[in-house]
Amino acid sequence: MIVNSPEWKALEQLAEQSRRWHLREQLQNKHRCDAMRVEYDDIVLDYSRQNMNPETLQALLKLADAAELGKKIEAKRTGKAINTTENRAVLHMALRADPEDDYRVDNEAVTPLVIDVRRRIAAITQAVRQDKHLGVTGKPLRNVIAIGIGGSYLGAEFVFEAIRQHPSCADASAGRQLRFLANVDPADFHRATEGLNPAETLVVIISKTFTTTETMLNARAAKAWLSEALGFEAVSKQMLAVSTNIPACEQFGIQREHIFGFWDWVGGRYSVCSAVGLLPLALHFGWQNIEQFLLGARSMDQHFLSAPFAQNLPVLLGLIGVWNSSFLKRPVRALLPYSQALHRFAAHIQQVDMESNGKLVDRDGRALPLEAGEINFGEPGTNGQHSFYQLIHQGRVIPADFIGFCRPQTSVKLSDNRLDLHDELMANFFAQPDALALGKTEQELRAEGVPEALIPHKVFPGNRPSNVLLFPELNPYRCGQLLALYEHRTAVQGFIWNLNSFDQWGVELGKVLAQRVKSVLQTDNLEGSENLPFSTQQLLSKYRRR
Ligand SMILES: O=P(O)(O)OC[C@H]1O[C@H](O)[C@H](O)[C@@H](O)[C@@H]1O
C-alpha cells in the first residue's frame, strides 16, 4: 500500500517540518515563487501560496512515481478497463478527440463513433436553428428544456452559465432559451416550463441509463405537457433523447433519428463532452461555439498526456490536493472563481470530485488506510467574501483555489471611475490569496493604534494555503480547458490513493430505501412501515396527516 512506501513516509516528515514555515517569509523568496509558478497555453498556475516548497514537490513527484501515476494515465488513455468494478474503460478524453486521435476500447477505434454523433448533433442543430426542423404546429423551435440529473445535468448547466454571456455565445443564442430540469420537486418542473410556449419548445431527455427515477418522471411530465397542448404527434417531433440505452428511448416514444447515443466508457459525471452536454448546448449556442469548447478540453487533455509532471497543471493540482488532504490533514477545498459566470462550477466539481474519490476501499477492495476524497464547496468571489470567507481567514484552515480571468466577458465602466467593474473584481482576486497567506500580526495592529482589547479579535494568523489560477478569458475554449483541468485533477488524486475514481456504488442504498418508502406511501394506511425504523414511521405518519 502506498502509505507504507518510503515516499509516503518522507512526505509525512516534510509535513511535520512544514508546520515551522510561514508563508509570510516564504513569499519573500523570489526563487521559490518563480519555481512554484507554471504556465500552459497562457494559463498561469501559481502555487507559491501552498504550505510547501520546491523540495515538497520533488517528494510528491517521487510519490507519483511510486504510485505508478504515469502507467495509470497511460492505461486510461489506451482504453484499459480501469473501472474494474464495472469492467469499463474510462475514455471521456475520446469525446473531444480530433479525427486523427486514436482512442480504442477493446481494440475498436472509438474516435469515428464520437465524430459520427458530433456530425448528427451539428446537423440537427443547424436544422433547428435555421428553422428547417420546425415544431408540430409549424413554429420555429426557440426553446430547449434539458431534462436530466447528476452527471446528465450539472456539467451542461455549468458550461451554459459559464459561456452564455461571452459575446459569441450571447449573439448566437439571442431570442432562445435553454432551461434545465433536474429535481423531482414539482416546483422545478414549473420553473422549467413557466412562460414557455410548448409549440416552440424542444425537450431533450438526458439519461445514460434511461432508468433514473427523477429523470423518467420529469420526462413523463414533459411528454404530457407537450401532448396535452399539441397532441401526441409533438412527442415524435419535439422530444429528443441522449442515452446509452437506445431501446428504452424508443420505447418511450422518441424517434430513432432523435436519439443521440454515447457509450459505457463515458462516466455520467465525465459526460458533458458527449451528446449529454453537446446537444442542448449546441441547440442553444450553435455548433461553432461548442466546437471551441471541445477544442479547449482537448488542449488540456494533450497537455495532461504530454507535459512533464512538474509542469503539468492537472498533475500539480492533484498532487497539491493529496498534500493538503492526506499529509496536512485538510480535507476541505474551496473553489473560488472570480467570475459570476462560474456560479455553477463548484456544483459540477462537487460531483466530479466527490462522487469519484469519496471511497472506502482501494482498487483491490482493501480498506483504505486514510480518508480519501476532498470536500469541495464554493461560490464566486466577491460574493463569498461577504459570507463565508470569515471562516477561512480566522476559523479553519481551508485550502482554496482562486480562479480569475484577465479579460472580462462583458464590460461595465463608470464615467467617474478609472477602473471598470472587472478591475474591481480582480483587485479582490489578487488581494485575497495574499490576505490568507500573509495575515496580520499583533504588532502590525498595535502600530496602527488598534485598542489592546480588540487586538486578539483582529489578528489574522495567515499562512493559509491557496492556488491562483489565472486564465486569459472565459470563452468556450477556456471553459473546455477548465473543465478538463479539474476532471484530470480528480483522476490524479484517485490514482495516487489507488482507488477506483470511476464507479459510484455509494449512491445505490438511498435509491433502494426510497423504493421501500414509496411502496409504503402507495398504501392507504402506511402498510409495511413497521419494517422501517421507528423514527421513520413517526415522520411518515406526520407527513401523511399533512
Ligand atoms: O444519466 P443517468 O443514468 O440518468 O444518471 C444520472 C446520475 O444518477 C446516478 O444516481 C449517479 O450517481 C450519477 O453518477 C448519474 O450521473
- Tell me the per-residue pLDDT of 209-267, one tens digit each, with 9 for 90 and over: 999 999 999 999 999 999 999 999 999 999 999 999 999 999 999 999 999 999 999 99
Question: Do 379 and 482 fall into the same domain?
Answer: yes
Give a yes or no: residue 488 inside a domain: yes
What distance in Å separates the CA atoms of residue 292 and residue 305, rounded to the nearest whole number? 20
Q: Is 9 a catalytic residue?
A: no
Residue type, 106: D
Question: Do 142 and 262 fall into the same domain?
Answer: yes
Predicted confidence at residue 222, as pLDDT, reads 98
pLDDT tens per residue across span 31-51: 999 999 999 999 999 999 999
**CB of 357 sitting under 6 A from ligand 1:** no
Burial class (CB in 10 A: 0-12, 13-18, 19+), 528: middle
Question: Do 483 and 442 fall into the same domain?
Answer: yes
CATH number at 339 reads 3.40.50.10490
Name the pLDDT band for 143 (thresholds 50, 70, 90).
very high
CA of 89 to the centre of ligand 1 (A): 17
According to DSSP, the residues that pair with 332 across neighbouring strands are: 375
Give a yes or no: residue 78 inside a domain: no
Phi, psi (degrees; rounded to nearest 5) at 401? -105, 115
**CB of 414 sitting under 6 A from ligand 1:** no
- Cell readout for 36 is 512554484
Question: Do 282 and 183 fall into the same domain?
Answer: yes
Give a yes or no: residue 198 inside a domain: yes
For residue 206, give the 3-state DSSP assignment.
strand
Predicted confidence at residue 419, as pLDDT, reads 87
Q: How many domains does the chain have?
A: 3
Give a yes or no: residue 418 inside a domain: yes
pLDDT tens per residue across span 332-363: 999 999 999 999 999 999 999 999 999 999 99
**CB of 212 sitting under 6 A from ligand 1:** yes
Give a yes or no: residue 28 inside a domain: yes
Question: Do 329 and 404 fall into the same domain?
Answer: yes
What number is the average pLDDT over the span 275-296?
A: 98
pLDDT tens per residue across span 377-408: 999 999 999 999 999 999 999 999 999 999 99
Name the pLDDT band for 83 (thresholds 50, 70, 90).
very high
What distance in Å separates the CA atoms of residue 237 and residue 258, rounded to the nearest whole number? 9
Question: Do 527 and 481 fall into the same domain?
Answer: no
CA of 441 to the centre of ligand 1 (A): 49
Predicted confidence at residue 417, as pLDDT, reads 80
Phi, psi (degrees; rounded to nearest 5) at 239? -115, 130
Q: Is 68 a catalytic residue?
A: no
Give a yes or no: residue 502 inside a domain: no
pLDDT tens per residue across span 515-532: 999 999 999 999 999 999
**CB of 149 sitting under 6 A from ligand 1:** yes
Predicted confidence at residue 180, as pLDDT, reads 98
Structural domain including 539 reads 512-544
Predicted confidence at residue 356, as pLDDT, reads 98
pLDDT tens per residue across span 478-526: 999 999 999 999 999 999 999 999 999 999 999 999 999 999 999 999 9
Peptide bond just before 382 cis, omega within 30 deg: yes
Q: Pick the catalytic residue from 386, 413, 448, 527.
A: 386
Does ipTM come in above 0.95?
yes
- Cell readout for 353 is 470530485
Residue where a domain stops, chosen among 241, 262, 292 = 292
pLDDT exceeding 90 applies to what percent of the chain? 98
Residue where a domain stops, chosen among 266, 292, 318 = 292
pLDDT beyond 90 at 413: no
**Ligand 1 nearest-atom number relative to CA 268:** 16
Question: Do 536 and 440 fall into the same domain?
Answer: no
Q: Is 355 a catalytic residue?
A: yes
Name the pLDDT band for 418 (thresholds 50, 70, 90).
confident
Question: Do 402 and 362 fall into the same domain?
Answer: yes
Residue written as cell 429528443? Answer: 240
pLDDT tens per residue across span 3-13: 999 999 999 99
Question: Do 101 and 177 fall into the same domain?
Answer: yes
Question: Do 163 and 210 fall into the same domain?
Answer: yes
Indicate the top mutation candidate among 208, 348, 490 to test ligand 1's pocket, ranked by most ligand atoms within 8 A of CB. Answer: 208
**CB of 284 sitting under 6 A from ligand 1:** no
Residue where a domain stops, chosen among 292, 317, 332 = 292
* Pairing mode, strands 143-147 and 177-181: parallel
CA of 372 to the centre of ligand 1 (A): 22
CA of 507 to the centre of ligand 1 (A): 9
Question: Do 461 and 528 fall into the same domain?
Answer: no
Predicted confidence at residue 69, as pLDDT, reads 98
Indicate the top mutation candidate among 504, 508, 512, 513 to test ligand 1's pocket, ranked by most ligand atoms within 8 A of CB. Answer: 504
Predicted confidence at residue 225, as pLDDT, reads 98
pLDDT tens per residue across span 85-123: 999 999 999 999 999 999 999 999 999 999 999 999 999
Residue type, 345: F
Q: What letter does residue 269 receive in the DSSP assignment?
A: G
CA of 491 to the centre of ligand 1 (A): 19
Question: Do 131 and 275 fall into the same domain?
Answer: yes
**CB of 207 sitting under 6 A from ligand 1:** yes
Give a yes or no: residue 16 inside a domain: yes
Give a yes or no: residue 434 inside a domain: yes
What distance in Å separates the CA atoms of residue 158 and residue 506, rounded to the nearest whole number? 24
pLDDT beyond 90 at 312: yes
